[in-house]
Structure 1
């Protein structure tokens, strides 16, 4: 399956959404069922299992991994809000892809002709390939989540970004979509700290995976007969300076990976409290910065040819640059949270 994602990564970016063989592969592997309850045919994987899987997918195709993570978050929001009482239509296929956002940019109108949902939600990763959208709405003055069939939404192609281009994070528009009353339900966000941390880790894991994927390319270059430019060495591996650069890139990558897994273990421990939030934000953003730094070191080693559009290294570089600026990972926002917490204490 990983070979399928790698082989289709360039096509995924070119067409702005995961290639059909990649989607089929992750679906057949059960990745869209990671966060569906066992009762409904899923595996309800813990945080460690989920992020390991997302990192593995990201090593091959960060955009596809990102959308699998987005689906996991959307399903988690629905399941943690409704428990076992899931709408039968939603529970019917645990392998169906979902997308979602907690931004309440929709509204609910209840009347004699039913419950209608209208709104516009930006950056809805994977919306073109999803069956369900779990989106934030205001139901009167109450923040809620609406479960909408994507087939009832209009997709506006607004995602034109330097990296994570294959996520298809477009805008979805609902114009008075009629849904059963129970498909609109109150939800508490950010929710428990463990859940909020899990959501952030689903963004960090593809970024860490992408960094690993880039490191695979550099390891391959060192194993080849490529000669360092403007040096007397006949192979990259002969150069002490190049080996030092590679060692630093590897160490920085592994540090980000360790942070990812350590935070996932904290989520699985069940011991997190809101007081841990600012510290966790700082650690996630630091891991994202490590990924960016590792890619810079790798590109130093590879040189300008690493930026050739035919070279997967530059794609990993752009995906990491964009993915690591997600609100859960953005270092500026993490500093804001940490500063606000220190001021309040």
Structure 2
């Protein structure tokens, strides 16, 4: 990420959170950098970047603004789903168009003499206020399908009110008797290999890793300042052996999470199939990030919880995003245990 893009996203991170959606300047910056073309197919002018490149990019963006990074990742997932399903190429007419969506089939297509019409609602659709297209899970009769719908045809219900990732604007989309032409409907292509599902999980993990790196940067700046531990004889944070130890542990946890992310991304590109193990490693990397943030908040002290302090925002974003269903630690542990004991 260029220095200019980083500065724009970082400078607007608080605005993004306050208004509940990425600041216009942030969206312009990521669009200009080509981030919304990460998973636009090459034949339509995009990069169709691999899992490693996408993970690195999302983590880099999240160091400045986790919410904006999350919505770039959501767009990448939606475009991947569209491409995998062979949906109408009109979705990719603008390689830099932002997409959103969810594969949960909470909508129903009703067939009639004048074509299909869509009704339903979909919760937690990140970026839905700014995207041009929504890729939505639907039931077409008894067939689990996906439909590509222009956002202009849908209504946004403002239901997203969370402690963290507030700037993702993950509201509810509603369709009421919306006409959908057949070329924008396709039977859902469920991941034939775990590699596809792992890619989707990485788009959740990468912003968590990047946000943790962002928080670590805030604390490292504090160590470089004249800040000293309250109620101690130390003249600077770095004079405290305890503070140095906490910083070392947080740095180690953050580094391990990043290495795990990149290793998983490499396995996704190689066609990963060991779902139970890889799912657990996704969740464990997220837990490393959450543990690192606790140490960093200890170092930041009560000042770290000031609304003006970026540290508390990173902490809240990691706490929420790190518990995304793709990163669910107790279910991942359950599935891995089942796999290990199968047939015994």
Is the Cα contact below 8 Å between 1:124 and 1:172 reproduced in 2?
A: yes
Q: 2:265, 2:81 → 1: CA distance?
A: 18
* Gap change, CA 1:191 and 1:326, over 3 Å in 2: farther
| Structure 1: stretches of 5+ with no match in the other structure | none
Which residue is equivalent to 1:119? 120
1:302 aligned to which of 283, 300, 303: 300
Is the Cα contact below 8 Å between 1:117 and 1:174 reproduced in 2?
A: yes
1:340, CA displacement in angstroms? 3.6
Which residue is equivalent to 2:53? 49
1:188 aligns with 2:186: no
1:24-55 per-position Cα deviation (integer Å, ceiling 9, x unaligned): 10011000000011110100001000000000
1:199, CA displacement in angstroms? 0.1
1:336, CA displacement in angstroms? 2.9
TM (norm. structure 2) is 0.97
Is the Cα contact below 8 Å between 1:227 and 1:236 reproduced in 2?
A: yes
1:120-154 per-position Cα deviation (integer Å, ceiling 9, x unaligned): 00000000000000010011111100101011001
1:19 aligns with 2:18: no
SS at match of 1:188: coil
1:110, CA displacement in angstroms? 1.5
Report how many residues are paired. 339
SS at match of 2:201: helix
1:61, CA displacement in angstroms? 0.3
1:89, CA displacement in angstroms? 2.2
Q: 1:91, 1:233 → 2: CA distance?
A: 58
* Gap change, CA 1:103 and 1:340, over 3 Å in 2: farther
Report matched runs for 1:87-98 at 5 Å. Answer: 87-98=88-99
1:205-235 per-position Cα deviation (integer Å, ceiling 9, x unaligned): 0000000000000000000011111211100
Q: 1:328, 1:68 → 2: CA distance?
A: 17
1:172-209 per-position Cα deviation (integer Å, ceiling 9, x unaligned): 00111112112110013244211100000000000000
Which residue is equivalent to 1:311? 309
Which residue is equivalent to 1:279? 277
Q: 1:340, 1:179 → 2: CA distance?
A: 42
SS at match of 1:137: strand
SS at match of 2:186: strand
Q: 2:83, 2:208 → 1: CA distance?
A: 26
Report matched runs for 1:1-345 at 5 Å. Answer: 1-82=5-86, 86-270=87-271, 272-273=272-273, 276-342=274-340, 344-345=342-343
Q: 1:116, 1:339 → 2: CA distance?
A: 44
Q: 1:127, 1:335 → 2: CA distance?
A: 32
Q: 1:212, 1:291 → 2: CA distance?
A: 9
* Gap change, CA 1:66 and 1:28, over 3 Å in 2: same
Is the Cα contact below 8 Å between 1:245 and 1:301 reproduced in 2?
A: yes
SS at match of 2:124: strand
1:341, CA displacement in angstroms? 3.0
Root-mean-square deviation over aligned CA pairs: 1.0
SS at match of 2:121: strand
1:344, CA displacement in angstroms? 4.0
Q: 1:89, 1:38 → 2: CA distance?
A: 14
Is the Cα contact below 8 Å between 1:327 and 1:333 reproduced in 2?
A: no
| Structure 2: stretches of 5+ with no match in the other structure | none
1:165, CA displacement in angstroms? 0.3
SS at match of 1:104: strand
SS at match of 1:305: helix
Is the Cα contact below 8 Å between 2:52 and 2:265 reproduced in 1?
A: yes
